[in-house]
Structure 1
Amino acid sequence: MKHLNLFSPIKIRGLELKNRIDFPGMGTFYTDDGGYVNDKFIHYHAARALGGTGLITTEATSVHAPSAPRNFLNISDDKFLPGLKKFTTAIHDAGAKVCVQLWQGGLTAPLFDPDVLRFIPSDITVDNLLGNPLPEPITFQGCAKEMIPEVEKAFGSAAKRAVEAGFDTMEFHLAHGYSPHAFLSPAFNHRTDEYGGSFENRARFPLECIQEIRRNIPDDMPLLMRIDAFDDYVENGLTIEDVISFCKLAKAEGVDVVNVSRGNPVSLGMKFEVPPIDLPMGYNVEYAARIKEETGLITIAVGRINEPNQAEKIIADGKADMVVMGRAQLADPEFCNKASAGNDDDIVRCIGCNQGCGSSPMTCTRNPAVGREWEYALQATEHPKKVVVIGGGMGGLEVAITLKQRGHEVVLLEESDRLGGQFYIAGLAPGKSEMKEAAISRGQQAIKAGIDVRLSTPATPELLDSLHADTVIIASGAHPIELNIPGKDLPNVLNSFEVLEGKVIPKGKIAVIGGGLVGLEVAEFVVDADKNNDVTVIEMLDEIGKDLASARRLCIMERIPEKNIHVKLGAKCVEITKDSVITSKDNLQDEVACDYVIMSVGSISNDTGALTAYCEERKIPYYVIGDAKKARKVIDAIAEAAEIARAV
């Protein structure tokens, strides 16, 4: 299937896009200090343009110099024009149209650069910023009225500069708690002058910004606007009816396209800005559909739209006119080319892990070349070798596929009867089936690439002798850590892998030792398996979920009380009995009654001594990578695999 609706052209005023896919603004932190374009920034975007997307949208681009964080893209002065012109030329040469996202960060800007001016409508007291709880609430002071025209003019000047720089269109950012959104929302705007109070007054500042932008761009240039469908997790926030009313006013002032997002930086709503795997795919599409129907605006849907068939159906069903597919194109910059050719099975899929896209600078678990596109461009080997890869987890698959792409002969040995390693097992946890599917898909891609994949095949000396390898890569993974405490060998003591794989289904009172990601997920797993299970997570640290990316942590922490999972913090497990776990805290012992104990205190590398000794005795070059080297996150294993595969 070639997804004919998704890859049909669309015309907006004088701009024609070759397909309905927008590669959106995402904070990369790639620019040079001060917000200047550099080659790294260009190569990153150009890779997605070459990959077939219709529209490239820059990350948030500062329009107002006094409030511009130094590590954000900037368009507030003519001094930025040379770099911006170089950027737009590169995107056009790569075959895409290009949009600049005009941004004034409001409350968020000083979080990234404490020296910048704060511009928010009124005093705001918050106890959570960008998903991080604060030791005590902080009050931010609202702006003086005299500043408002200055910022409005800055939007207009930036728009004029964008036209000169060669942008095809621009997007006015009115979402995520940034200043236009903050002025519009009664949750953030408590002013009593003509810019606050009634809906009409609160709409004044963003509408005046739109007027300034529209005055400074050609009539045939479309204007996009990013909005929140409504306000999440804040009192007295915008409703979808409010947003629809504002969109109609914005349309009258010259806005052509509305990009429907969600989220804000001061509440649990932050999880919607970079939505993790915990949120359903396409969770925001129905709100975009309603806004499209009631406003008549060309509408872009956003929110975990990762699959070609999913995106095609959204367009075909008339739910939206375009779709944002951002992280899908981080994971695979060739996403659009592959989907348009009907080669969906070749796509490396985003799985919403948020391990790389939530960091600064931005990376990607599935694609270590993000931000290193020029450096990591694959080079065919001039000296093909026979490489034996031991281990078919995600690191082993990454190194094997990359070596094959470079022209090496690759044999992959996997001791178990399936590929994907711990990533596959992680995909058995609640709401994480996309990880399991991604592991299966990557294995299938390895086989399709022509790699000699041998399952249920231990790497014995005899087999390795027969393969005559030039190089060996050991990616044999890790296994669960077993606490060395009395009672660890009792029959009611399990590890998290056994439970997630369904080898044992515990029932009754269950103690989970370890409050990291896997411990929390296995706790959810046993509750979902039987609502009558009574689960307690025992964690020796002062909080749970410390190893989680912020948005994932927000989601899981929200679910723990909803599922009545108990948490015992600061408690060290000292003994397991047939019906309890004994803990120690502040030299006082306590007891957690349980029928089963699930150990989930991390993993430790499998022993590679015999394999490394074999290679050293025969003078075969070898590498130990991924969890076999040191048990870490999957992003580390895949990144290491990608680096080694380019070095062989």
Structure 2
Amino acid sequence: MEHLQKLFEPIKIGDVEIKNRIVMSPMALGFCEDDGTVNDRFVEFYTQRAQGGAGLIVVVTGYNDFGNKMPRSPALEDEKFLPGLKRLTDAVHGHGAKVFAQLMHQGASAVSFIFGIQPVSASAVRSGLTGEMPRELTKDEIKLTIDHLAEGAAMVQKAGFDGVEVIGTGGYLINQFISPLTNKRTDEYGGDFEGRIRFPTELVQTIRARVGADFPISYRTCGDSFMPGGNRQEDIQQVVQAMEKAGADVINQAVGWHQAPMPMITMNVPRGTFVYLAQGIKEKVDIPVIACHRINDPILAEKVLFDHRADLIGFGRPFLIDPEFPNKAADGRYGEIRYCTACNACFDQIFSGQPVTCAFNPAVGREKEFEITPAEESKKVVVVGGGIGGMETARVLTMRGHDVTLYEKSDRLGGALNLAAIPPGREEFVTAVNYLSNEMERLDVKVKMKTEADRNVISEQNPDTVVLATGATPIWPKIPGIDQKNVVHAHDVLEDKAEVKGKVVIIGGGATGAETALFIAKKKAMNPEVAIYLASKKGIDPETALQFTRSGTDVTVLEMVNRIGQDIGRTTRWTIIGELREYGVKMVTLATATKITEEGVVYEHEGQEKLIPADTVVIAAGVESSKGLTEALEGAFAEVHNVGDCVDPRHAMDAIHEAARIARQI
């Protein structure tokens, strides 16, 4: 069992002692009232994270002028907001955690339809995130913004917060001043490096003067903007040195601008990718440094600390999916941790203007509503289907005191999520399956594998309630020639049950088709480790090595609608499309396959019939609900529920949330 020594050591930020090195990173939740009043929902959310073992929690707040704050986040511009803020800090302190308030200002990243005013920025440069044109702040408005944010700092100090954070990441207002991409000013707030950092420098200095020497100030930075022509690592290192000199007590390292062309938060980003940025900052400053982004494992976090690459670790999404992960890690209960998969359902919600949620934890923001309480009456329940919907149902039912038997017809739990975890960059889904499988064992759920539960099998159990989570089956479209030997299904390709050779055409460009295309394309490309070896030993030049890692099979994807991956979340889709292009996968939209021949696939596109040569044709035309057992059980049992894809094929989040709701109602 791994012993986490460094992660649970106390540390001081300024004069404030944090009980461990675990920081809950700032997140825009959207849980407050429309005017920014802190409510029960907001307090309960953070109470559970403090109770779960967080050492420091950073809360996104804002002083609402020029459209600066995030929607439905705590407001600071009036003392009427103090009681709610005080309730929050009291609740967090009640569980031994400290809490900082981040002073958000979106600048040009704000959207006018939400705030009703034109966004502001360092200069009138169109936002690459929203597409809107901001107006340039006047010098008087810059001074006013600094004063307002300093007033906000004084407000949170009065409300009992333990510190304040200035945000210089994400492409928000401070970034817009620092970056030559967005700062075209010719006055003292623009021009050279010193001019461009004047705004954050004066902001930190003004806050320090307002809150005094003993109130910690955190500066959250983007270790590298990853914007072509923007601030790179060496620039940011100079910025944080200036912020330390101005009065910052800790550097909270984040990554990039939201509109940066590099994937930073998606599942295909390797764990710990950006620790090097924290390490680089730590080598330049004498104050503590927080490392974050794609660190979802306490053992990895321990290693980062042990190797002196950072002083604290920031966890954002891991606190959404499992508020108790710090306490579980401290006890060595790693198998009970529900690890973040970086599926980005939370970010998809945020960027759609909705309150945050989590695909695998429906209790986010609904902690009281989804509290697991004992059932009024213990029932005998049969759950059919060992996918994530079935296992989540069984988990919650068992915790509520019901007697549960789960049937799975295959030799493996996990259902469709096992397939979803096979394509490159989607492996984190395995952790979701592992967690639920571990819970079946820990809770002593009676699991009957390789058993197809029909009406007779279920009747033998004499259950009070039956829950069907039987999933969905692949669709084979009625295309002439689909029965040829060179036609295989995407599921069989992913499970290495079908041979793929020569030129490949995939019929269907949804998530399964797109990810199968990437799976096939990457399979025959050179392993990156081999390429690095050959390049480092000068066997081949680096550019050729990179090309070899991108040279795979000739793959074409045909899709009927006008978008490839239309069912992939908005914050993930662009990264998958980008990788398909990198690997040379050809994508044809508005294309309907009409015939499969020995030569290839005939399809209709823009009123013309065309042929794509193919040696292998892969079907990825979606799935349809498995309703056979539902129909067979009609009228047989007093209480029957359906969850997941057997209701309607959807996403993992729908299966989990549906299962969680039904299991709490039985």
Given the two structures, how large is their TM-score scaled by the length of structure 1? 0.95
% identical aligned pairs:
36
Superposition deviation, residue 477 in structure 1: 0.5
Matches within 5 A, 1:527-542: 527-531=521-525, 532-542=552-562
CA distance in 2, matches of 1:116, 1:395: 44
Given the superposition, is the C-alpha separation of residues 111 and 338 from structure 1 closer, same or farther in structure 2, using an over 3 Å criterion?
A: farther
Task: Kindly state the Cα deviation for residue 239 of structure 1 after the two structures are TM-superposed.
Answer: 2.0
Contact 1:61 1:102 in 2 (8 A): yes
2-side partners of 1:32 and 1:562: how far apart? 44
Residue 646 of structure 2 is aligned to residue 628 of structure 1 = yes
Q: How do residues 402-551 of structure 1 correspond to structure 2 at under 5 angstroms? A: 402-531=396-525, 532-551=552-571
Q: Residues of 2 paired with 1:195 and 1:501: CA distance?
A: 58
Q: 1:468 to 1:519 in 2, by over 3 A?
A: same
**Secondary structure in 2 aligned to 1:296?**
coil
For 1:2 and 1:541, the matched residues in 2 are separated by 52
Aligned counterparts of 1:319 and 1:112: Cα–Cα separation in 2: 42
Q: Which runs of 5+ in 1 are unaligned?
A: 131-136
Structure 1 residues 333, 508: CA separation in 2 closer, same or farther (over 3 Å shift)? same
- In the TM superposition, what is the alpha-carbon distance from 1:87 to its structure 2 partner? 1.2
CA deviations on 1:547-580 (whole Å, 9 max, x unpaired) are 2222211211221111000011111111111231
Q: Match of 2:448, as an amino acid?
A: R
Counterpart in the other structure of 1:133: none
Please tell me whether the aligned partners of residues 69 and 110 of structure 1 are also in contact (alpha carbons under 8 angstroms): no
SS at match of 2:409: coil
Written as runs of structure 1 = structure 2, the 5 A alignment for 1:240-251 is 240-251=233-244
1:254 matched to 2:247? The reply is yes
Q: Which residue of 2 aligns with 1:613?
A: 632
Whether 1:561 and 2:581 are equivalent positions in the alignment is yes
What is the aligned partner in structure 2 of residue 215 from structure 1? 209
Give the match for residue 347 of structure 1: 337
Q: Give, as a single letter, the amino acid of the residue that structure 2 aligns with 1:246.
A: V
SS of the aligned residue for 1:401 comes to helix
1:138 Cα offset (Å): 4.7
Q: Please give the alpha-carbon distance, in whole angstroms, between the structure 1 residues aligned to 2:621 and 2:643.
A: 22
**Quick check: 1:195–1:201 contact (8 Å CA) kept in 2?**
yes
> For residues 238 and 444 of structure 1, do their structure 2 counterparts lie closer, same or farther at Cα, with a shift above 3 Å needed?
same
- Match of 1:17? 18
For 2:618, the aligned partner's letter is I
- d(CA) in 1 for partners of 2:177, 2:113: 21
Equivalent residue, structure 1, for 2:370: 376
Amino acid at match of 1:176: G
Q: Spell out, residue by residue over 1:363-411, the C-alpha distance to the aligned partner (whole angstroms, 9 max, x if none).
A: 1011011110011111111211111100000000100001011111111
Q: Distance in 1 between matches of 2:177 and 2:584?
A: 38
> Which residue in 2 is equivalent to 1:229?
223
How many angstroms does 1:112 deviate by?
6.8
Deviation larger for 584-593 or 319-328: 584-593
Q: Deviations over 1:260-288 (max 9, x none)?
A: 1112233425x43xx01011111110111
The equivalent residue for 1:84 is 85
Match of 2:606 among 568, 576, 586: 586
Query: Corresponding residue for 2:308?
Result: 318
Closer, same or farther: CA 615–540 of 1 in aligned 2, 3 Å: closer
Contact in 2 for aligned 1:612/1:622 (Cα 8 Å) = no
Q: TM-score, normalised by structure 2?
A: 0.93
* 1:647 matched to 2:665: yes
Q: Distance in 2 between matches of 1:551 and 1:523?
A: 20
Query: Taking structure 1 as reference, are residues 583 and 396 closer, same or farther at Cα in structure 2, changes over 3 Å only?
Result: same
CA-to-aligned-CA distance 1:484-531 (integer Å, 9 cap, x gap): 111122221111111111111302100111222111110010111123
- Out of 583, 586, 595, the residue aligned to residue 615 of structure 2 is 595
Does the Cα contact within 8 Å between 1:11 and 1:17 map onto a contact in 2?
yes
Instruction: Give the direction of change, closer, same or farther, for the CA distance of 1:221–1:165 in structure 2 (3 Å limit).
Output: same
| Alignment-derived partner of residue 43 in structure 2 | 42
Partner residue in 2 for 1:134: none
Counterparts of 1:497 and 1:188, CA distance in 2: 46
Map of 2:276 onto structure 1 = 286
Contact 2:221 2:255 in 1 (8 A): yes
Deviates more, 1:68-77 or 1:513-522: 68-77
User: Within 2, Cα distance between the matches of 1:403 and 1:276?
Assistant: 32
CA contact (8 A) 2:455 2:632 kept: no
Number of corresponding residues: 635
Match of 2:5 in 1: 4
Give the C-alpha shift of residue 66 in structure 1: 5.5
Letter in 1 for 2:560: M
2:122 pairs with 1:129: no
Residues 304-327 of structure 1 show CA distances to partners (whole Å, capped at 9, x for unaligned) of 110111111111111110111111
**Partners of 2:443 and 2:122 in 1: how far apart?**
56
Q: Does the CA contact (< 8 Å) of 1:390 and 1:473 recur in 2? A: yes
Q: Is the partner of 1:80 in helix, strand or coil?
A: helix
Q: Distance in 2 between matches of 1:129 and 1:174?
A: 16
Task: Work out whether residues 61 and 76 of structure 2, in 8 Å CA contact, stay in contact via their aligned partners in 1.
Answer: no
Q: Equivalent of 1:301, from 285, 291, 302?
A: 291
Check the 8 A contact 1:392/1:412 in 2, yes or no: yes
Does the 8 Å contact 1:300/1:321 carry over to 2? yes
User: Offset of 1:31 from its aligned partner?
Assistant: 1.1
Which amino acid is 2:309 matched to? K
- What CA RMSD, in Å, does the superposition of the two structures yield over aligned residues? 1.6
**CA distance 1:312–1:112, shift in 2 (3 Å):** farther
Shift of 1:77: 2.3
- Asked if structure 2 preserves the Cα contact closer than 8 Å seen for 1:472 and 1:615, the reply is no
Matched residues in 2 for 1:112 and 1:173: separation? 23
In 2 relative to 1, CA 233–541 (structure 1 residues): closer, same or farther, beyond 3 Å? farther
The aligned residue for residue 146 of structure 2 is: 152
User: SS at 1:377's partner residue?
Assistant: coil
1:85-124 mapped onto 2 (5 Å cutoff): 85-110=86-111, 113-124=114-125
- Relative distance call for 1:322 and 1:604 in structure 2 (3 A) is same
